[in-house]
């Protein structure tokens, strides 16, 4: 299971028991969108090669409000 925790500076990730942080600029560069427009599904897809996507994608801007 992958856990994503968003804040205004980036994303804390727990992937297969390993914890790490993706900075906002890294996420923007990897996805090609401004950070508020990135979705949780897009971040999950750069972290997990075979993600279990469920529900509707949520934009970071909506998650942080």
Mean pLDDT value across residues 6-13: 97
| Domain layout of the chain by residue ranges | 2-63
Mean pLDDT value across residues 45-58: 92
The model's pTM is 0.91
CA-wise closest residue to 59 among 31, 30, 43, 36: 36
Q: Which residues contact 12 (CB under 8 A, 6 or more apart)?
A: 4, 5, 19, 20, 21
* pLDDT score at 52: 86
* pLDDT score at 1: 82
* pLDDT score at 60: 98
Residues 19-36 pLDDT 10s: 999 999 999 999 999 999
């Amino acid at each position: 299971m992958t856990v994503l925790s968003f804040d205004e500076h980036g994303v804390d990730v727990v992937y297969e028991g390993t914890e790490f942080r993706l900075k906002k600029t890294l996420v923007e560069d990897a996805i090609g969108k401004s950070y508020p427009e990135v979705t949780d599904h897009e971040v999950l897809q750069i972290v997990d090669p075979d993600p279990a996507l469920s529900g509707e994608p949520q934009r970071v801007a909506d998650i942080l409000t």
